[in-house]
Structure 1
Amino acid sequence: MNKIAKSLVSAAVITTAMTATTATVQAADRVLLKTPIAFGSHLPALGTPIKWVSEQLPVMSDNTLKMKIYEPGKLVGAKEILDAVSSGKVNSGYATAGYWQGKMPAAALFSAVPFGPEAGEYMAWLYYGNGMSLYQEMYDTNGYNVKVIPCAIISPETSGWFNKEINTPEDLKGLNMRFFGLGASVMEKMGVSTSQLPGGEIFGALEKGAIDASEFSQPAIDKLLGFHKIMKYNYFPGWHQQATVFELLVNKDAWGKMSGGQQAIVENTCKASMTNAIAEGESMQFEEMAKAQENGVEIRYWNDTMLNAFEEKWLEVVEEKTAADPFFNKVWSDLSTFRKGYDLWEANAFLPRTTK
């Protein structure tokens, strides 16, 4: 009986130890991504995608993965997200690569490209061309300790709110305008002074006359910022941002500590978010445009003179940036090669737009 008792005691001790070890492993496996975001989570298709991701991760991972998002400026400033994630101050962050073009000129090509690819083509290059390998290479070669994951994409934005008609390039000269990314370089060649104000500061700047005009995002997002209350003309198409990609950055050390399954959940949830974001954005723009018209906003489509002028200046910007930065040239050459191949498909596969 003593032997049996001893065996039972030993078994109980081993079981308790194994249970404790398992509990410790499970606790160690749990990951909380503390994620400052560059766009308010109330902004549809701009900030809502990362909120959706934060809601899906615990469900998909049986609570081994969680994400806590911090609204813009609450933990880290929008323009500080890359450095904060790389240094480990936070283990993740959500922004758009265009914010880093001052540090890495090619970053803008992974955000939005003037006269560039629409969402489907952009995603094709990222996921099935060389886009993702170049995207990660950019961060690696510049010494940033981050894993980059595309986590949302939106379709075309409006290209500007103005208080006067713009019919010729001369009408733009001398204006002060909020403008984003590579498009800002084009506008400066058109004689416009540009600044990249955060969304929450644009209305006040317009109201006070600090800037004369602004672009920001899609109609449903611009409405929430109140542009329609003080600006009369809203111009389309968004030649400067036919599609815009948003990224989840994860500190590489934190990424390396996650299991392969957890990494896959994050990557695939972000890929699902790409679909969700573009569907959400596409679903609501026409209704908001109609309401804006009812409230006196005049929706204008750029005439050929203006579109040709924008494109001409864009090609000048490309020439300058490819000559100035080898990696910009590398990414631009790869994207251009992909797009030339894609043109054969696009020219033959899709119906032309009709006026019916």
Structure 2
Amino acid sequence: MRPALVAALSLALMLPACGKAPETAKPEEAAPARQISWRMSSTYPSTLLILGSMGKRITSEVAAVSGGAINIRFFEPGVLAPPFETFDAVSYGAIEAGWSTSGYWAGKVPALQLFSSVPFGPSAPEYLAWYDYGGGRPLFEKIYHQHNIHGLICGMSPPEASGWFKDEIRTLDDFKGKKIRFFGLGGKVLEEVGASPQLLAGGEIYQALELGTIDGTEYSVPAVDEKMGLQEIAKHYYFPGWHQQSTFFELIINLDAWNGLTTTEQTQIEAACSTNIRYGLSEGEALQAAALKRIADAGVTLHTWPPEVLAGLKTAWEKVAADMAANDPEFAEVWASMTSFRAAYKEWADRGYLKD
């Protein structure tokens, strides 16, 4: 027998004993991500432009960035908790999260108002710069952690209007005796100049102004104010919004719920908030010019505050801030951090930006 044939027959006889060739190992499938379901109570209705839509949007953004693993369900104001009780509901763990702005908690933690909006305060870029790189964030988190809450700046809006009035305001004295719905620290400034500030939830403003329960109100940017229908009642609309040159919005989370997340899950929520900040600012800036035109076409007079009125309001704010800092160490700490940053930043702001 020829050697080649012998070799072939030998190989054929050996193959059955060798069994099947080993199969290529399949890659292991990743374990499915765990599902997290949270309830989020909002202080703004989902239908409210920017203020509410940012809250609604953060739920879809978190779901998208987490691949559907983190589900935050949006609840309208009052369904899970009244707007002004959202802080306590999150703190006690009755719900996992809330959507708001920290100025609503003025009666509980005055210092948190500085993380909402500040009279004669920073523009959006400066506000973010202080928060992210000037010491704001550690203070924000420290304050909230004392109340079993983790806070995240999760949205932003551009400068607000200064207010709607049935009667024209010409001088600082014209504020005296007027009942004005006003938000946050700006309300304390108006109180200093003789007005009677009222803090009403958004859904209460129209009726209060219509019935004469209040003489004037501020609420938000023109596009939002227009949706509220305020142009139907008051015909004098004032600018600039000295009390809110920019506004932070927040996602507040029960601290135990936050600590129960993995680092990846926390990072996903933070990333969604960063995207939401950009959305709030870009949409907010884009919508105002057209809204102003429609408001003016509805017969509203657009006013710019006289310099002497703004100067008087600024003097009143400086007194309010000094008094609050003297009586509240927590407020003093945040205020000192912000003012120190702004003093240093001013050199850049004055030199780096064109003046109209």
Which TM-score applies when normalising by structure 2?
0.90
Are the equivalent residues in 2 in contact too, given 1:31–1:258 (CA < 8 A)? no
Matched, 1:45 2:70: no
Q: Give, in angstroms, the shift of residue 238 of structure 1.
A: 0.3
| Higher Cα radius of gyration | 2
Q: Distance in 1 between matches of 2:106 and 2:210?
A: 28
Give the one of 118, 138, 143 matched to 1:138.
143
Which runs of structure 2 are paired with 1:173-322 in the superposition (5 Å)? Answer: 173-322=176-325
Give the one of 117, 124, 128 matched to 2:129.
124
Give the one of 89, 92, 95 matched to 1:84.
89
Matched to 1:248, the amino acid is: L
Matched, 1:55 2:60: yes
Structure 1, residues 95-116: CA drift from partner, whole Å, max 9, x if none? Answer: 1111111111111101000000
Aligned length: 329
Structure 1, residues 244-299: CA drift from partner, whole Å, max 9, x if none? Answer: 11110111111122121111000110011111111111110110100111111000
Structure 1, residues 189-237: CA drift from partner, whole Å, max 9, x if none? Answer: 1111111011111110111111111001111111111110010100000
Q: Give, in angstroms, the shift of residue 242 of structure 1.
A: 0.5
Are the equivalent residues in 2 in contact too, given 1:146–1:252 (CA < 8 A)? yes
Q: Distance in 2 between matches of 1:298 and 1:146?
A: 43
Residue matched to 2:23: none
Q: CA RMSD in A?
A: 1.4
Q: Give, in angstroms, the shift of residue 22 of structure 1.
A: 5.1
Are the equivalent residues in 2 in contact too, given 1:44–1:280 (CA < 8 A)? no
- Which secondary structure state, in structure 2, belongs to the residue aligned with residue 147 of structure 1? strand
Q: Give, in angstroms, the shift of residue 317 of structure 1.
A: 0.1
Residue matched to 1:350: 353
Q: Distance in 2 between matches of 1:333 and 1:22?
A: 48
Matched to 2:98, the amino acid is: G
Q: Give, in angstroms, the shift of residue 338 of structure 1.
A: 0.4
Q: Give, in angstroms, the shift of residue 41 of structure 1.
A: 1.4
Unaligned 5+ segments in structure 2 are 1-27
Q: Distance in 2 between matches of 1:166 and 1:22?
A: 64
Are the equivalent residues in 2 in contact too, given 1:36–1:93 (CA < 8 A)? yes
- Which secondary structure state, in structure 2, belongs to the residue aligned with residue 352 of structure 1? coil
Structure 1, residues 100-158: CA drift from partner, whole Å, max 9, x if none? Answer: 11111111101000000011100011111100000011123xx3111110010111101
Matched to 2:42, the amino acid is: I
Give the one of 114, 117, 121 matched to 1:109.
114
Are the equivalent residues in 2 in contact too, given 1:176–1:211 (CA < 8 A)? yes
Give the ranges of 4+ consecutive aligned residues of structure 1 lying more than 2 Å apart after TM superposition. Answer: none
Q: Give, in angstroms, the shift of residue 93 of structure 1.
A: 0.7
Matched to 1:246, the amino acid is: F
- Which secondary structure state, in structure 2, belongs to the residue aligned with residue 132 of structure 1? helix
Which TM-score applies when normalising by structure 1?
0.90
Q: Give, in angstroms, the shift of residue 33 of structure 1.
A: 2.0
Matched to 1:257, the amino acid is: G
